[in-house]
Structures are given as structure tokens and as C-alpha cells.
């Protein structure tokens, strides 16, 4: 079997876009992996946001920049976006899951709505709930335009839950039915 190796030279790397947001207006500009973003800008990253190997204590900073850029663009369209739940400690996630267990009666039913602490992407700082519970219309704006900022709705049953699972500008993947998609079988 022949192995095809593609060398990454600088002429190729300039083709890998990096999306930059102005630190004040959060307007976007496309740069590349060689030139990166300016001092006056923040990077939205060039790929899906990766898991951190150490347990984070806050929301992933790239996810935050992506959200702030989307929030600014939505505002220009007259739509208000707010994070109603972002980073959660494992203890908080555990408490939410226990509450869901009481409400839904079984592990499988509860996990449809609240992921168990070791599974949820909220304690990893990689998930945000937007405009929950009262403004699905605003969140719909993010569902439509989020890909430009690298944000996607992830579950069919949670209109409020978004993650930075693509590179800015990519197409969002097909949604999972519900949060049980992340359960280890």
C-alpha cells in the first residue's frame, strides 16, 4: 500500500484559514495559520475545538470568542443572545443529573436531557446553553448562522445547546437525537 505524504509548506499553510475577531467590535476577518491574528484581534481557531487534557475551570476561551462574535453579529440583526449556562463544575453537573434521575425515573430517560457528569461537555468547558429556557427564537438565529463562527446545535431535543465542534465556516454535522449519543456503550 502506497502512503501518500503531503508536505506542509508555507505555500500550503497560507491556505489554512484562521478566523479572527476584532477585540472591540467582534467583526470577523480571515487570516491564515502563518499570519495568525493581529494584536487587536482574537482567534476563533482553525478547527473544531479540541478537548483539554486537564480539567478546565472555566469556559474554553476559543468557545467564548466564537460566542461573543456570534452575539455581536446577532445584535446587528436585532437578536439578543445570552449564555444561560456554560462551564459547570463536575459537582454541579452531578447535582443536575441526580435531579433529572428523580424527575425521569431511569438512567436512560434522564440521560436524554442531562448528561451524566463524566459525559457532559459542560464540565469540559466545551458546551453552552443559549437563551434557555425562554427564547428559542433567538437561539434559532444561532442555529442558522452559528457555523460561520464555528458553533453548532448538537441535539435534536435541545434547541439551546451549542458546541464549537467545527472550524468556523464549515458545515455543521447532522444533529444527534439526544445527549445519549455521548454515553459510552
B/e letters for 85-112, b = 16+ CB within 10 Å, e = fewer, are ebbbeeeebbebbeebbeeeeeeeebbb
CB of 86 to Zn ion, least distance (A): 9
Give one word for 107, left, alpha or beta, with left for phi > 0 and alpha for psi -120 to 50. Answer: alpha
- Minimum CB distance to Zn ion smaller for 37 or for 122: 122
- Minimum CB distance to Zn ion smaller for 129 or for 135: 129
Element (H, E) at 141: helix 136-145
CB of 168 to Zn ion, least distance (A): 21
| Owner of C-alpha cell 481557531 | 45
- Minimum CB distance to Zn ion smaller for 129 or for 143: 129
**Do residues 32 and 45 lie in contact, with contact meaning Cβ atoms separated by under 8 Å?**
no
CB of 141 to Zn ion, least distance (A): 18
- Minimum CB distance to Zn ion smaller for 41 or for 129: 129
- Minimum CB distance to Zn ion smaller for 42 or for 59: 59
Strand partners, 21: 28, 42
Residue 85 Cα distances to 43, 77, 79, 144, 156, angstroms: 23, 23, 18, 20, 18
CB of 34 to Zn ion, least distance (A): 36
| Interface contacts to Zn ion, rule CB under 5 A | 127, 129, 161
**Do residues 43 and 60 lie in contact, with contact meaning Cβ atoms separated by under 8 Å?**
no
Residue nearest to Zn ion (CB): 161
Amino acid at each position: 500500500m502506497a502512503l501518500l505524504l503531503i508536505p506542509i509548506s508555507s505555500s500550503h499553510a497560507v491556505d489554512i484559514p484562521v478566523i479572527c475577531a476584532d477585540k472591540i467590535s467582534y467583526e470577523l476577518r480571515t487570516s491564515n495559520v502563518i499570519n495568525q491574528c493581529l494584536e487587536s484581534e482574537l482567534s476563533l481557531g482553525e478547527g473544531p475545538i479540541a478537548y483539554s487534557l486537564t480539567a478546565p475551570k472555566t469556559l474554553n476561551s476559543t468557545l467564548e470568542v466564537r460566542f461573543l462574535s456570534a452575539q455581536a453579529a446577532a445584535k446587528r440583526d436585532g437578536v439578543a443572545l445570552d449564555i444561560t449556562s456554560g462551564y459547570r463544575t463536575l459537582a454541579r453537573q452531578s447535582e443536575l443529573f441526580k435531579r433529572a434521575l428523580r424527575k425521569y425515573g431511569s438512567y436512560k430517560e434522564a440521560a436524554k436531557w442531562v448528561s451524566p457528569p463524566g459525559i457532559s461537555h459542560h464540565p469540559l468547558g466545551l458546551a453552552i446553553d443559549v437563551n434557555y429556557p425562554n427564547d428559542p427564537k433567538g437561539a434559532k438565529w444561532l442555529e442558522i448562522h452559528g457555523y460561520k463562527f464555528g458553533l453548532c446545535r448538537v441535539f435534536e431535543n435541545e434547541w439551546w445547546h451549542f458546541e464549537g465542534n467545527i472550524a468556523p465556516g464549515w458545515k455543521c454535522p447532522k444533529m444527534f437525537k439526544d445527549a445519549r449519543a455521548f454515553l459510552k456503550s
